[in-house]
Structure 1
């Protein structure tokens, strides 16, 4: 099983394959049902008038923050951390070697390189460069950003390389030969588009893309899958499956296990959480699997199809993992039965599913602490489960796994515990340390606590708090509170060298809230905050803030908040609904106009999370009150926010951030705004850009909460 197949369009918004999307250059017309909006012109993606506005507002923020004495040291420290030579090179098993994608100051866009497993484990590998992205971009006059490789099983010699111009989600796909280290002359070459591409076999690809102009869903994703044949013109591709324009999109995948079995799968995403799964069955025809729409195919292991259940499936409970024999699925796709493989306990939640050649790998949360499991097939469709011997009370995750063996890399980290890499034998249930990241900040005297706040409806909301052991309980500690709270995405501890060095080491504290809308306690935790029930997530976050204030850990004067994407929406609501609680708000790559959201970037695809304001009167009434862009009021004393976005963000789009800043300016409200012109849905296209954006917002926080 090469990859997890659960659609997760949230923080990574990664789809089944190397999927991407784009957005219209010109704004959609105003809808007469909507409130008057003088700033729709800022929805133009990158027109001259818009970019003049962006440059002017960037210059103001740069002048204000880069002149601060904190900025340059922060930038230098961030760049040193992001480009440090002693980082752990993230390893991938591929073609009998260990591959790694590496960026530093000499390789800003990065190099794809390889070494042997023995050399890698020895700590001083002799890396051989396979592909230099900086050199490729220079030769072709493009701002290429590497977006990953999909290699043909089982040989793993030919790979499909995805390249993005400037970091946007839209990619160009080219065939690459690992043996020669070159792009294949006359090989597969899929033009830049929003697309999902996967190998069917050595001479065929299954491709979902914008085959003709405008042939995409209302969410901006492809809905037609075709078979592309080697050596034949792209225009001669043969249609395999067609969805509907009202779908989120269609996404092909071909699953493999270590025994040579394959499963050709096409997922038709109805909305963000509901999907219909189709396979090419034993009769050679496309058949829909008889599974609920919130049950997804998660992989193929030892001749068994593995399913992730985000709703109950007959007697199989929501939140569990199940499996069925591949032979039954292929012969009777409309009537097979599955058996339970893993079932969560009361405080447990499924994080991810992957596999080695002969083991099913399941990563779970137990009260938001990580555990990794190895499941072996047993007689009668059963499984035997072993908990892998890795550190407790940390965030744990699987890395790259062998497809021709049972070894897999695993990662462990915590707020004050640097990342460590282990080599796990999933069959023997053993783990050996490989490498640990050197500390990036002084954690002496810091403690990590897991606390609970009571939300407005009485629900206990867990949150982590990292602070100095001798922290005074007088409200004087600057605290940065983070959360996400959407799309069933889990917020777990992570080791951030920049937050540690530039915030914790300087006396600040950091909190991470596990509010409803996330997946920390399974599907029900997410569903509690869906659509018009979303107020509970906003109340949960404010309740955590009040808990820290009531305990005199901090005070509104010293409390700042940060969030990105859906978390950026959370920040906008917190700022407009509870302005008295915070003195600083960092809003990153956000959603803020929840009325026109479906007209901006991929907004339509998230109606399963937020509702459809043009079809559902209750959703419209809710968001007319809660949409941060519409909730701003002249004369209200809001905390002065730092609003960050990127021009190349073709996921949430930069339009939300621009319009929010413009409306604040219209009302005479103070704010900071910065739009990076590259970087996609993130902080930057290279480490220098990321260091700058990090230094800017942490300088802002320092001025607001520490100075």
Structure 2
């Protein structure tokens, strides 16, 4: 009897300890409502549905309470201000973009260091330099950014788009590029659009009808292409294509460099497109180059009647082909498919075949017949971008960098193949003190996956190194090596930064992408888990010193991984994540992500698969989840913040242990693009300080 009482007492004490831990953080109250949906006979509860209404007062009050709670927690971290200062110090260096010529001027971007937004400058033939556009004057707080800039062929007219608070809804302002004076009224409600000029007449742009209700969350799925003629009102703009007679989610019309062709790309998802072309010289309507959505084909360039296309049709790693306007069905290989993924740019009368080999760049210069001129000798192993320009230019520019080499701009002579440094940033960082190496590890099903691991030289592999494991794994997007001042500060403080190139990305072409989609999406999470296990088993880190990080689709990656394997890491940092996999397609352009995810309405099998890993629906009672900081923006109209709100509410309600669940909500912040320098510094200081603090680190060296 005595032993039974003792056993009951231990059990009671254990229960009390759990209850004490659970109530250790007095989270803001989040009401629950009676709401459910039925999918193929299965009822799914959604008690936080009310948080989807971003216009409702109770949602706004809830956001305020979460912001206050998070700020109260973070302000108690003693080295938060130190990290903020470290970031400011390293961020405060001049950054100059590659120059480009338009008309009689050479343009370039420059940020003095801590300016909220980079400024566009120009230099005339006499060498006089002036400010062309200063986005820092678009708003008082620096949260309105330059989203795009396009010139007519003569360089005498320009149109630039602006984003307010990071929103995908843009405004387009038209100016005389010589005098910089505004022409016409501002074009509004432009979204997912390029700006393509046709002579001096005007330009093509794309948009959706502004939805009823919330512009930040309401569904937008019928893209329309318009032509704005200079000197007219937006209400008079000509509808070129789109609407009920040609319904597509994404459409853009571009003009070829010789201004002979209009090129229409139309798609219903983020993968797979139709391509149409219109010959302005000989008249007629748009003619199909490719129909259906099973492959991707993009226009690259034209030479008279000959058109150059980049395609993955019968070539998962892509190839460059040519066809003629007189026979669009006959395609001839110019640059055949290889074992490495291909992208192509043009400049100086040449083609540049840019290959990705194990996520590292290789660049070949070719003529328009596909004959090799030379392989470009890059400065090392990393990512090269650029090699594009007008046909008449013999000097092109490219950037090169990796995880421990700040991005440097090089000047390239197309005739000799020689490169020289054009601009090297003066960053307070010494690459020679760091190491960045690529390893290959084995995932659950035996697949070999590459990962690049970067850190200070001489780091002791004792399992106690703070480590951020970052990845994406979706939408055919490739993670190639690139320098980040945030990662530099992390590594300077003894951290390891590891990036695995998991399935779902584009590092190994269409097959690699498809292996992480729909009913194979869990391959992505298993690859990420295997990367963490590799780091732990090889002494780089351990569970108590590991943080999982990713944004957007990478936010889904973190959310799914932490709910599948809550024991894997100490910290989770899901940013602007897709976290409700049953309803993601109900908001903004979310339905276009179905190629990667499938939808809950597709079939019973697809619904059950999504439900089995949807982060929101797999938070369980009685489980200790990692210390979590969920980040989102109140103007995010790409992945609406309701994903983060609902996931955070579930975690706060069900978290078993003392690990905190924080929601860091950026006001006047969107999906990521266009944030001011101050916003980026503050957010990253909070993330890094939270991560180190939760790993038990109390002071910085």
Give the TM-score normalised by the residue count of structure 1. Answer: 0.86
Q: Classify 1:365/1:96 alpha carbon distance in 2 versus 1 (closer, same or farther; 3 Å).
A: farther
Structure 2 residue 103 is matched with structure 1 residue 95: yes
For residue 337 of structure 1, the aligned residue among 331, 337, 346 is 331
| Contact 1:683–1:689 under 8 Å retained in 2 | no
Alignment of structure 1 residues 443-592 onto 2, 5 Å: 443-501=431-489, 503-592=490-579
- Structure 1 residue 222, shift from structure 2 partner: 4.1
Residues 117 and 142 in structure 2, CA contact (< 8 A), matched pair in contact too: no
Residue 355 of structure 1 pairs with residue 346 of structure 2: yes
> Of the two, which has the highest radius of gyration?
2
**Pair 1:678-2:668 in alignment:** yes
**2:686 aligned partner:** 696
Cα pair distance change 1:353/1:680, threshold 3 Å: farther
Paired position in structure 1 for 2:238: 238
Q: Secondary structure at the match of 2:95?
A: coil
Alpha-carbon offset, residue 74 of structure 1: 1.3
Partner of 1:275: 273
Separation in 1, partners of 2:400, 2:125 = 20
Whether 1:263 aligns to 2:261 is yes
The answer to whether the 8 Å contact 1:569/1:591 transfers is: yes
Match of 1:9 in 2: none
Equivalence map 1:176-325=2 (5 Å): 176-184=175-183, 187=184, 189-194=186-191, 196=193, 197-211=195-209, 220-242=220-242, 248-257=248-257, 260=258, 262-281=260-279, 282-290=282-290, 293=293, 294-303=295-304, 304-312=306-314, 317-325=315-323
Structure 1 segment 343-422 matched on structure 2, within 5 A: 343-345=337-339, 348-350=340-342, 352-378=343-369, 382-398=370-386, 401-422=389-410
CA separation of 1:363 and 1:255: change in aligned 2, threshold 3 A: farther
Distance in 2 between residues matched to 1:127 and 1:660, nearest whole Å: 50
Q: CA deviation at 1:322?
A: 1.9
Q: Which moved more, 1:438-447 or 1:54-63?
A: 438-447
- Shift in Å, 1:224: 2.8
Query: Residue 336 of structure 1: SS of its match in structure 2?
Result: strand
Please give the root-mean-square deviation of Cα atoms over the aligned residues, in Å. Answer: 2.8
- Give 3-state SS (helix, strand or coil) of 1:579's partner: coil
Q: Distance in 1 between matches of 2:70 and 2:387?
A: 39
Match of 2:171, SS state, is strand
Larger CA deviation: 522-531 vs 365-374: 365-374
Kept in 1, the 8 Å contact 2:242–2:248? The answer is: no
- Preserved contact between residue 248 and residue 267 of structure 2 (Cα < 8 Å): yes
Describe the SS at the equivalent of 1:35.
strand
Q: SS in structure 1 opposite 2:330?
A: coil
Secondary structure of the structure 2 residue equivalent to 1:410: strand
Runs of 5+ consecutive residues of structure 1 not aligned to the other structure: 1-26, 120-125
Q: For 1:416 and 1:44, how far apart are their aligned partners in 2?
A: 43
1:298-347 C-alpha deviation (Å, 9 max, x unpaired): 321544422222331xxxx332222324xx22x233x33232324223xx
Q: CA, structure 1 residues 656+478, in 2 after alignment: closer, same or farther (shift >3 Å)?
A: same
Give the CA deviation at 1:557.
1.1
Unaligned runs of 5+ in 2: 1-32
SS across alignment from 1:311: coil
Aligned residues: 651
Query: Contact (CA 8 Å) 2:168, 2:192: kept in 1 or not?
Result: no
Residue in 1 aligned with 2:645?
658
Contact 1:301 1:359 survives alignment (8 Å): no
Q: Give the equivalent residue in structure 1 for 2:160.
A: 161
51 and 441 in structure 1: CA distance in 2 versus 1, 3 angstrom threshold = farther
Shift of 1:563: 0.4
Q: Given the superposition, is the C-alpha separation of residues 230 and 49 from structure 1 closer, same or farther in structure 2, using an over 3 Å criterion? A: same
- TM-score by length of structure 2 reads 0.87
* Distance in 1 between residues matched to 2:125 and 2:59, nearest whole Å: 50
1: CA distance, partners of 2:488 / 2:516: 31
